[in-house]
Amino acid sequence: MDEPLRLGALAQVSQPVSDIERSVAWYGGPLGLPHLFTFGNLAFFDCGGTRLFLSGEPGSPRPPSATILYFRVADIVAVHRELGERGVTFEGAPHRVHRHPDGTEEWMAVFHDPDGNLLALMSQVAPGSEPGP
């Protein structure tokens, strides 16, 4: 067989946290991610088919991770507004970060989890459209 090697979809991403209970409440609460299970200092959430694995040590402050988690959304303006109403603090409003040659735009809005880990909303906007309603 000379079939090329092909890796599957990303199955799981790990994120360090300092307080697993606080993080479970935040990721499952304001972010609304479906909580799959927790055991010990490990918690798992579903992110559209990819598992988010939170690992923590109680009382041990952790520096923020170098990893950035980007959540794809269809309507970045509406999700930004909804998360803001749920208490998520963003660094700024959704903004265009790139325009492709075909006119499709990449939009982003950045925020942090309780440990300072960087997260972002991202959305592709079709040519001639504006993000949001």
Q: pTM score, two decimals?
A: 0.84
User: Encoding tokens for residue 85?
Assistant: 């109403």
**Domain 10-62 CATH assignment equals 3.10.180.10:** yes
Residues 6+ apart with CB under 8 A from 37: 43, 44
Q: Is 64 helix (H, G, I), strand (E, B) or coil?
A: coil
Task: For 55, list phi and psi in degrees, rounded to 5.
Answer: -130, 135
In sequence order, what are the residues at sequence separation of 6 or more whose Cβ sits closer than 8 angstroms to the Cβ of residue 132?
A: 75, 76, 77, 78, 94
Structure tokens at 27: 């990721």
Where do the CATH 3.10.180.10 domains begin and end in the chain?
10-62, 63-133
| Span 23-39, average pLDDT | 96
3-state secondary structure of 108: strand
CATH topology of domain 63-133: 2,3-Dihydroxybiphenyl 1,2-Dioxygenase; domain 1 (3.10.180)
Cα–Cα distance measured from residue 111 to residue 90, given in angstroms and rounded to the nearest whole number: 4
The predicted-structure confidence for 69-97, as pLDDT tens digits, reads as follows: 999 999 999 999 999 999 999 999 999 99
For residue 91, the model assigns a pLDDT of 96
